[in-house]
Amino acid sequence: MNPLRRAPAGKPVVEATPYDDLSSELRAGIDDAGRLRRLTSTWERILGHRRDELLDRALVDLVHPDDVTGVLSRLRQALESKSEKIGFEARLRDSRGEYVSLEWEGRFSSDDGLVHLAGRDLAERRRMASLVERAEERADRASRAESGFMSRMSHELRTPLTSVIGFSELLLKDGLEPQLELKAEQVLKAGRHLLALIDELLDISRVDGGTMTASTEPVQVNGLLRDALALAEPQAAGRDLNVRVDLEASRDVYVMADPQRLRQVILNLLSNAVKYNRPGGEIVLSCETGAESTLRVRIRDTGAGLTDERLARMFVPFDRLGAERTSIEGTGLGLVLSQRLIELMGGRLSAESEVGVGTTFTIELGVAKAPSLEPDETISEPDSNGQGLLSGHSVLIVEDNATNLDLLRELVVGAGARAMTARDGRSGFDLARQQEPSLILLDVHLPDFGGTVMVDALSKDSLTEGIPVIALSADGTRAQKQKLFDHGIVDYVTKPFDGAALVESVQQALARRR
């Protein structure tokens, strides 16, 4: 409640509220003659004038001569409009004759017929702002220092770990006696566990210290999910798990996400669904559209499930919810990191569980508009419900000849993969970065780039470096072929090609991929 309004109209009043001494705001009621009719005690404290001296005096008596015209016209504006909010800056003279810069806001009130003004000391405000700024800077520095420390520490820990992991791998390559092999394997396992811990801790500290930022962009969900699934499937098969996929709702849907981080999270959740499942159980990966244009990605397992009490500690660092008493390996940080990463992208990660039934993780992300494709770029979903030799994969075809392009696309979608196409090197490279396909079929005679240039560009980019490239050429000499292999292609197919042989070559390249 405005303290100025409580007094009966007409009599000049000085008011004090219990908060006056905390406030640095000057409040006043000004009548139509420009006189101060009501005042808060802050006038006395900030300007040093005695209150009774001020009452009934014209406000402009205190105003700096240069500001008088402005103040009068603003007051008139408030009085005449009856409703407009006014705002201005004006300097007021204090009891020592010095001027205090103040920022004013005000409005006419029909309750008492006065214009009510509230003035803030600008110097005070600037001082507060700079205090806040300094405090923020200090906090920033502290958190950067902490994350710098973590990054330094991670470096120091990695160097000896290089020896632990490297030498035990070398020992195992030597072909040891079974007993020694067992021992070396334990060393290697422990080394890798430590490395995973260090990586996850460093990531968490980067998120908390604000040095990790998510670069979000529209990401085609199904492509990313299928790629992640292809990596997790061998693990699942090893434990005799049935993987069911229902991605109908997310067909052609894009979400705002950082593709590398999102893949990291999905792989982590899938790997959990494999590790904590019962043998012969099931994993269901599905999508559904959520409220307020979001997409929910669900990963459900048929593991032992968790009690509510344990579920509540799902995202607590190092709490492995009982799994520490099993032989299942884990750091107790994966879910914590996953949750922070998803939040960094503006999404949510939550979990539900039922004892004896299983656990479901849900990622909720904002739906994004599909990025516009260049006129020559296309993306085609797999035929035959994604069954076939290349099922679960995506293949980028970069080829300028339209007939060959159509033929290759049909082969790829017919074998159960998603196909994307580009007609020149530039857009092929962009599409590879944007979609991160499982494999690239590359015509080595593109209008803009030669084969080796293209292969080099792909292998030097962090988003595309791991993607195997198969070169297609009509006139390959032995030397040209060798040169392309030297630059890192995984296979070379001569045109005209046999469809079945090409699909087989793609399939083999994907199987070799680690």
Partner 1 sequence: MSPATPKVMLVEDEDAVRLLLRLTLELGAVEIVEAPDGETALDLCSEDPPDVIFLDWAMPGMTGIEVCRALRSEAATRDTPIVMLTARSSDSEREEGLAAGADDYIAKPFSPETLLEKLRGLLGADVLLGPA
By beta-carbon proximity to partner 1, the closer residue of 160 and 450 is 160
Query: Which residue in the set 30, 150, 165, 314 belongs to the binding site for partner 1 (CB under 8 A)?
Result: 165
Residue 158 CB partners (closer than 8 Å, separation 6+) = 195, 198
Instruction: Work out how close the CB of 348 gets to partner 1 at its nearest, in angstroms, rounded to a whole number.
Output: 26
Applying CB under 8 A, which of residues 14, 124, 400, 485 lies at the interface with partner 1? 485
Per CB under 8 A, which region of 223-231, 314-322, 344-352, 485-493 contacts partner 1?
485-493
Binding segment (CB under 8 A) for partner 1, from list 147-155, 218-226, 275-283, 326-334: 147-155
Could you tell me the smallest distance in angstroms from the CB atom of residue 372 to partner 1?
26
* H helix intervals, 422-498: 425-435, 451-460, 478-486
451 sits near partner 1 (criterion: CB under 8 A):
no
For 393-464, list the strands marked E by DSSP.
394-398, 418-422, 439-443
Q: Does 197 bind partner 1 (CB under 8 A)?
A: no
Q: Which residue in this structure is represented by tokens 């005679």?
A: 445
Q: Which of 123, 128, 139, 170 binds partner 1 (CB under 8 A)?
A: 170
Is residue 482 part of the contact set for partner 1 (CB under 8 A)? yes
Place of tokens 């049909």: 410
Residues in the chain: 514
Q: CA 28, CA 56: separation in Å to the nearest integer?
A: 11
DSSP letters along 160-220, please? HHHHHHHHHHHHHHT---HHHHHHHHHHHHHHHHHHHHHHHHHHHHHHHTT------EEEE
8 Å CB contact between 265 and 224: no
Does residue number 155 form part of the binding site for partner 1 (CB under 8 A)?
yes
CB of 513 to partner 1, least distance (A): 12
CA distance 203 to 161: 18
Shortest reach from residue 163's CB to partner 1, in Å: 4
Of the candidates 83, 110, 159, 372, which one interacts with partner 1 according to CB under 8 A?
A: 159
Angle at 154 between CA 153 and CA 157, to 5 degrees: 85
Nearest distance, CB of residue 312 and partner 1, angstroms = 34
**Contact call for residue 453 and partner 1 (CB under 8 A):** no
Residue 82 binds to partner 1 (criterion: CB under 8 A): no
* Beta carbon nearer to partner 1, 165 or 314: 165
* Minimum CB distance to partner 1, residue 478 (Å): 12
With respect to partner 1, which residue has the nearer C-beta, 11 or 460? 460
Report CA torsion sign: 403, 404, 405, 406. Answer: positive
Residue type for 416, please?
Answer: G
Closer by beta carbon to partner 1, 10 or else 466: 466
Q: Any contact of residue 462 with partner 1 (CB under 8 A)?
A: yes
Tell me how many residues contact partner 1 (CB under 8 A).
25
454: burial class by Cβ within 10 Å (0-12, 13-18, 19+)?
Answer: buried
Q: Is 208 in the site for partner 1 (CB under 8 A)?
A: no
Q: Out of 94, 167, 298, 348, point to the residue binding partner 1 (CB under 8 A).
A: 167
Residue pair 484/471 in contact by the 8 Å Cβ criterion: yes
**DSSP codes joined into one string, 38-70:** EEETHHHHHH---HHHHTTSBGGGTB-GGGHHH
Binding interface with partner 1 (CB under 8 A): 151, 154-155, 158-167, 169-170, 173, 191, 195, 199, 460, 462, 482, 485-486, 488
